[in-house]
Structure 1
């Protein structure tokens, strides 16, 4: 393929456990993300983006395959991507791209051991670790190369991965084939073995007591202990984003490179359960997302509800590669061209490990169900669920007032119940029974069905 006709390069900048409201465009007052904010302002900002599964491995299986986690087969951590799975690396590779993966994989279940070739999802260039949180620390980054040799990279961990990515991009400058690079950070995920959020030394203590999001301020947890480090990690990630963009520009690749930024899930700092995610709440499922480069520059702000499962078809579509009919997400590219009529009016979320749960989030409502009799580690789904949460996000954006047992909101629950069942069926799940709450006898809320959106 000649250079003039070459398809765009594609880079995914993927963070771990990053809340949407760490960014300036979502109201954070600390100035943590000037590079992301610029990307959102000058490129395309998907302002309402949500994970489809708020835990690392399952979310990553969806991002690699374009399938919901139950369909991909990885509905909890600890389940490797099944042999024969088709990933973004396969689709890009078959279209003539060189493919590369740098950072955290979390889909091989080798934990601290190298990932064998057959478990790398089809990627050509490999500099990664399955569970980066267990092979590295903030200032000790150990990855494995194509030959499964350990490689210790210097610097703060986010910087080490960024340096590796810049070296790879630089090596592709004069190549005839375009490249697709998935750059997967651990930050701002906690350091597991000591339950700490280790920021770069220069930012330690810098954000103590500076800003606590309202949901965390109201609910406690351990946010006051960890937000300082978490924010420092976010700031360094944003600096890494800036460095990556500078490298792309200096190499003359800016006009030929699509860059996508997002995260696998968010973080609620032990406010909603005993750990950091695995719940239906915004603080667990809502993430930042923006795009830049050809086809996305000047795209403005998308107000539609976007899911992580929409990322794979979006990247393929933007690169001019046919989107497989098997993918369960949708490309956002048509939204940039004003084709909004059939875009889903809710996002669908599967929850595991803390519960066997399902949820939908519309523009106004959050509705969630759980299967208390099922094992959240062993059971992918259930035949019967009970209603657990209903939030009116218009009146209660921080989800502090659960309306699921309010008689006044039975019509809302009824409509959302049917929509959740439809989304479960569309995702390939058997249609379950969702148990009603006790009958409503008075005080029903009259509501226009359109208000459900």
Structure 2
């Protein structure tokens, strides 16, 4: 009997699809991710459906671990119900040793079901990279300890409490989690296959990193995005949330270059951490029997379209990296067909020779891995909270805003989504066709069953036609 492969899922936070040098970005330094591209298959058009709240990473991660679609999650992904078998839970039941380190944004109960071991576990969305409030693995699954701290010791002695049982002061989150993964690989009993989940907080802000990585990038040498705007021309419903206030209004080119330089520096740092984990696999003799997946939870604007965050359905916010490498996976190949992040779950389970649970709604990417011409989808449904809905085809994208505005982009001629064609008479027939498809996909995704979808479609029904709720 052929032994089941090990699985390493290396997952980053806020990393956009175009931040790997081997995939065309010559400004960023990513030698270890470049090596992974060379030895694996890259899904160049991998997306998230969007998010139902400002913390887009929460529903995104819930989709990754449950295989569920956006509007079939528990609320915005705060938890994963018992009926939705998680990826770790599925592999654990199949005999895998499951170990997690890093960020988990979907509730302690789902984590406890998923992993039989772990360390340096962060339950939350973001925090100080140099002082991560973390937990050691708790076999009881409670994770109920809290540590006191003084948020402003220079002005007040008031105490607050944060969820953790320890802090490792002065150690960056990327190194904290990578070192945890390395300890697991050192101690792992080779009699069982493993599922190792390494979930970073980087390159999410606050964008701080060890000095040597910051010194790799001079902001003056960073090219401003070609679709840079001083301000976004349409009310997205999220123009003044926290992410957008990280830079001044209107956007200043020098400030945007600094943000991008820091973003790239964090990515170079996590690239080195990824390289250390890969080196440990190689040294153990496990690399050839390990499926390695590198992916991100959502993208980031950083000045594109006048935005800073990920609360939109532009390519920079919903398109994310996805690379598979390992036994049976072609080296140095790319797949341009559409995939969603939630497809990772059934793909890994099938690669492991395990049955996909009935609760999973993602589609296995095995047909695309085996056949470069295979396709799973003709279009993608996209959403942000109660203010934006979109539909992307291979050639065009329509974006509808709750404020009443519409955008139409020809992605073949305009991949950076700069020229809005919606008001041009020659595109009226295409616009009507895409609007009809958008409404059909809203029904197929059960959008209006979610409070965010109901709110959006109620506001837009006068513009897009009546809808029965």
Aligned to 1:420: 438
CA distance in 1 between partners of 2:260 and 2:85 (Å): 38
CA displacement 1:108-157 (0-9 Å, x = unmatched) = 2xxxxxx4x565453221331111623xx233233202224624446322
Aligned to 1:90: 89
Are 1:130 and 2:123 an aligned pair?
yes
Show structure 1 runs of 5+ residues with no match.
Answer: 109-114, 192-196, 373-385, 440-453
Of 324-333 and 211-220, the range deviating more from structure 2: 211-220
Are 1:260 and 2:293 an aligned pair?
yes
Aligned residue pairs: how many?
404
Which of these residues, 212, 219, 222, is aligned with residue 211 of structure 1? 222
Show the 5 A alignment for 1:23-62: 23-54=20-51, 55-62=56-63
Q: TM-score, normalised by structure 2?
A: 0.79
Q: State the shift of 1:271 in Å.
A: 4.7
SS at match of 1:398: coil
Aligned to 1:382: none
8 Å CA contact 1:73–1:82 kept in 2: the answer is: yes
Distance 1:274 1:281, change over 3 A: closer
* Pairwise CA RMSD: 2.6
Show structure 2 runs of 5+ residues with no match.
Answer: 144-163, 231-250, 450-456
Q: State the shift of 1:72 in Å.
A: 1.2
Are 1:102 and 2:101 an aligned pair?
yes
SS at match of 2:42: strand
Aligned to 1:202: 212
Of 92-101 and 269-278, the range deviating more from structure 2: 269-278
CA displacement 1:204-250 (0-9 Å, x = unmatched) = 25322222353454554652231121110000111111111111010
Show the 5 A alignment for 1:45-444: 45-54=42-51, 55-75=56-76, 79-108=78-107, 115=108, 117=109, 120-127=112-119, 128-131=121-124, 133-134=126-127, 137-147=128-138, 148=143, 150-153=165-168, 155-172=171-188, 174-191=189-206, 197-207=207-217, 208-212=219-223, 214-215=225-226, 217-219=228-230, 220=251, 222-269=255-302, 271-272=304-305, 275-298=308-331, 300-338=333-371, 340=373, 343-352=376-385, 355-372=386-403, 388-430=406-448
Q: TM-score, normalised by structure 1?
A: 0.82
Higher relative contact order (CA 8 A, sep 6+): 2
8 Å CA contact 1:258–1:293 kept in 2: the answer is: yes
CA distance in 1 between partners of 2:86 and 2:257 (Å): 39
SS at match of 1:146: coil
SS at match of 2:220: coil
CA distance in 1 between partners of 2:75 and 2:388 (Å): 15
Q: State the shift of 1:8 in Å.
A: 0.6
